[in-house]
Amino acid sequence: MPIAGFGTSFATEQSIRDALEAGYRHFDTSLNYMNKDETIQMEIVMGNVFNDVISSGKIKREELFIVSKLEEWDHQRDRVPIAITQSLTNLGLDYLDLYLIHGPESTERKNVSLVETWMGMNDVLESGLTKSIGVSNFDRTQIRSILGTGVVPVTNQVISNPYWTQKPMLAYLQSHNITMTAYSPMGGITDPDLLKDAKLNEIAQFHRVSNAQIAMRYQIQRGVIVIPKANHQKYIVQNLDLFSFNLLDYEMTEIEALNKH
């Protein structure tokens, strides 16, 4: 999985094209993600773009790493193959590279255990509809509940940024050889003022990069996958430029100290 990916919630067709042009190959989406205008599912938008670039020979399917997610209304074991098939139809693909349980919330309400849902995820893995499976928004107890009931999830996708470092979660996942994927790496709706932070700005000026690049480079150096979203070409390109500089050890410590959650 490329450590830097592209988030697609409320994205546009042009932003997907710009991201591919900039060099992104890892794209994160879900069945319930809509485009910026909230008129069409992002999977369908992405499918149209992927069909164009693959059929033209510009990019091969195996060069892409496509992630989608199982929504809460499909947590029953027999619904998982139906759900992933719908996503594949929307995307115009034969398989996903990674399929995630979007969240554990619905299992209690619908009398579906996480183990049942996870077995459904194992089913679609075994049938070749996805190359790997993982989870999103799981806490440690929920992850423990599925360990030993099938393959180990390859990642847990959670909110994480310098204001919400998720340090205990990262340590737990690493102890089980599970990666962490950070959504809202630039603050998102929970911490909208993150990119105005004085310390991030100070470090960014020293390295002559943006505050957003500092926030994401922090994750890269922890071994955390990032999936920022942007609809402006300038930021799409900038958000992928994370490998031309390194944060110093004391800078990593200063960023860790910004944690508020």
Closest to 122 measured CA to CA, from 62, 165, 81: 81
Q: What is the pLDDT of residue 107?
A: 54
Query: Could you tell me the pLDDT band of residue 108, with boundaries at 50, 70 and 90?
Result: low
Q: Which domains does the chain have, with CATH numbers?
A: 6-153 (3.20.20.100)
Other C-beta atoms lying within 10 Å of the C-beta of residue 192: 11
> What's the pLDDT score for residue 109?
55
pLDDT of residue 111: 82
* Residue-level pLDDT at 78: 97
Which position has the token pair 């959650």?
261
Reported as a pLDDT band with limits 50, 70 and 90, residue 105 is: confident
Range 90-101 average pLDDT: 98
Cα dihedral across residues 82, 86, 87, 92: positive or negative: positive
For the segment 106-113, the average pLDDT, to the nearest whole number, is: 69
Q: Which residues are catalytic?
A: 33
pLDDT, one tens digit per residue, over 203-247 is 999 999 999 999 999 999 999 999 999 999 999 999 999 999 999
Please tell me the predicted confidence (pLDDT) of residue 169: 98
Flag whether pLDDT at 57 surpasses 80.
yes
With a cut of 60, say whether residue 98 has pLDDT above it.
Answer: yes
Q: What pLDDT was estimated at residue 14?
A: 98
- Mean pLDDT (the chain) is 96
Question: For the chain, what percent of residues have pLDDT higher than 70?
Answer: 98
Binned at pLDDT 50, 70 and 90, residue 253 comes out as very high
pTM here is: 0.96
Q: What is the pLDDT of residues 156-176, one digit of tens each?
A: 999 999 999 999 999 999 999
The average pLDDT across 100-126 equals 88
The string over 115-148, giving b where at least 16 C-beta atoms fall within 10 Å of a residue's C-beta and e elsewhere, is ebbbebbbbbbeeebbebbbbbbbeeebbebbee
